[in-house]
């Protein structure tokens, strides 16, 4: 078999949801209550790189993330590693693996490191194990690691269909527009905090589904938002997509706020950013920027590359007052891809990660 004793390396990136997923109808299989839509970010700005080595010479599995050897007995790590075992079983491989993964941005900082990490892990394992799974199959497996990860299997604008089968076979992501259709689109990630979020999205979603009667309204409106978004995107109508992006983010955060106990991710700086973007749009007489927030206080400002400077100027006072720590700008990006051996994170000689 050729799967042994060679290092395979791949790179993938996070995605930012424009129509948000919040709530599961099946916790174990990670089946969502509503469909969602996202833009995959360019790996030029934010990425995860993962190398895999499968060898008879390895005595045990080892998994490194950002230089730290993971404890495979830790429940969270164990859960993620289940995906590895699943794929290994599918390939009928029994040998041990060394997996080395690196993010070029801080994990758990609200920049969707789990989506990027899991999508890249599954992509690289598919290649290393020579499984030849389709992107749809990869998306179904990624979904079971972290819901939003199923969208990072594709580039461009991606919809994760909620599906209705109890076994989850029809709950996967699909590309709606490729990254070249409207390549001018950018996401400007405005970092206002580096703190780990207080409520994990998993716990928060569960709380919402259990306690918030508004969630049913949310699940029908997200379907409407997806249809409206796709129509406006087809016409490259920025004003309309911005209206939908802003409305959907506010709706999800209103849902969080009205959950018992109330979940609040946004902080003073987040609200100041919302004010600045709304003022900018009012001054321009049309929307040239849209804000959206995931389960955290950091903002994502969507704008066309040609309007980026105006957005930066509108946020300048918040940078000067140190409310904004940093802004990372990313173009719309593509699907995970394989890298050549010069990018490997594993030293074949010592069978260990490079320092």
Among 144, 148, 270, 298, binds ligand PMV (CB under 6 A): 148
Region binding ligand PMV by CB under 6 A among candidate stretches 15-23, 101-109, 241-249, 297-305: 15-23
Q: Which is nearer to ligand PMV, 21 or 63 (CB)?
A: 21
Sheet with 299-304: list strands edge to edge: 289-292, 299-304, 185-191, 326-331
Question: Residue 324 is encoded by which pair of tokens?
Answer: 């904004």
Encode 33-72: b = buried (16+ Cβ within 10 Å), e = exposed: bbbbbbbbbbbebbbbbbbbbbbeebeebbbbbeeeebee
Containing 187, the helix (H) or strand (E) segment is strand 185-191
Region binding ligand PMV by CB under 6 A among candidate stretches 66-74, 142-150, 188-196, 212-220: 142-150
Instruction: Say whether residue 144 binds ligand PMV (CB under 6 A).
Output: no
Among 35, 146, 175, 303, binds ligand PMV (CB under 6 A): 146
Is residue 155 within 8 A of residue 175, CB to CB? The reply is yes
Instruction: Say whether residue 20 binds ligand PMV (CB under 6 A).
Output: yes
Nearest to 224 by CA among 201, 247, 257: 247
Among 14, 23, 117, 147, binds ligand PMV (CB under 6 A): 147
Site for ligand PMV in 30-69 (CB under 6 A): 36
Among 14, 21, 222, 280, binds ligand PMV (CB under 6 A): 21
Instruction: Say whether residue 116 binds ligand PMV (CB under 6 A).
Output: no
Site for ligand PMV in 199-258 (CB under 6 A): 201-202
The CA distance from 252 to 266, in Å, is 12
| Minimal distance, residue 147 CB to ligand PMV, in Å | 3
The CA distance from 234 to 333, in Å, is 18
Is residue 142 within 8 A of residue 170, CB to CB? The reply is no
| Minimal distance, residue 171 CB to ligand PMV, in Å | 13
Pattern 262-301, ligand PMV, x by CB under 6 A: --------------------------------xx------
By rule CB under 6 A, what count of residues binds ligand PMV? 14
Task: Count the helix, strand and coil residues of the chain and give each as a percent rounded to the nearest 5.
Answer: 40, 25, 40
- Total residue length of the chain: 355
Residues in the site for ligand PMV, rule: CB under 6 A? Answer: 17, 20-22, 36, 114-115, 146-148, 201-202, 294-295
């Amino acid at each position: 078999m050729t799967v042994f004793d060679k290092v395979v390396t791949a790179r993938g990136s996070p995605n930012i949801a424009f129509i948000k997923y919040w709530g599961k109808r099946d916790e174990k299989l990670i089946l969502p209550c509503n469909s969602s839509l996202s833009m995959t970010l360019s790996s030029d700005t934010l990425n995860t790189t993962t190398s895999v080595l499968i060898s008879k010479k390895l005595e045990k599995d080892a998994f490194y993330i950002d230089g730290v050897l993971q404890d495979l007995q830790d429940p969270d790590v164990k859960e993620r590693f289940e995906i590895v075992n699943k794929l290994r079983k599918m390939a009928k491989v029994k040998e041990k693996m060394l997996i080395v993964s690196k993010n070029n941005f801080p994990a758990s900082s609200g920049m969707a490191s789990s989506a990027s990490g899991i999508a890249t892990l599954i992509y690289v394992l598919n290649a290393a194990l020579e499984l030849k799974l389709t992107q749809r199959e990869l998306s179904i497996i990624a979904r079971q690691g972290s819901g939003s990860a199923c969208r990072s299997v594709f580039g461009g604008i991606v919809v994760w269909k909620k599906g209705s089968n109890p076994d989850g076979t029809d709950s996967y992501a699909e590309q709606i527009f490729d990254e070249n259709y409207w390549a001018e689109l950018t996401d400007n990630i405005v970092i206002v905090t580096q703190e780990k979020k207080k409520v994990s999205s998993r716990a928060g979603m569960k709380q919402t589904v259990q306690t918030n009667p508004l969630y049913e309204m949310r699940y029908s409106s997200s379907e409407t938002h997806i249809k409206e978004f796709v129509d406006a995107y087809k016409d490259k109508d920025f004003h309309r997509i911005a209206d939908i992006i802003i409305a959907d983010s506010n709706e999800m955060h209103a849902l969080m706020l009205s959950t018992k106990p109330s979940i609040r991710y946004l902080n003073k700086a987040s609200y100041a950013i919302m004010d600045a973007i709304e003022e900018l749009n009012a001054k321009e007489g049309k929307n040239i920027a849209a804000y959206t927030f995931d389960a955290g206080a950091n903002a994502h400002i969507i704008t066309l590359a040609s309007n980026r400077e105006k957005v930066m100027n509108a946020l300048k006072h918040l940078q000067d007052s140190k409310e904004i720590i940093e802004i990372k700008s990313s173009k719309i990006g593509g699907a995970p891809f394989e890298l050549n051996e010069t990018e490997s994170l594993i030293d074949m000689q010592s069978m260990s990660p490079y320092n």
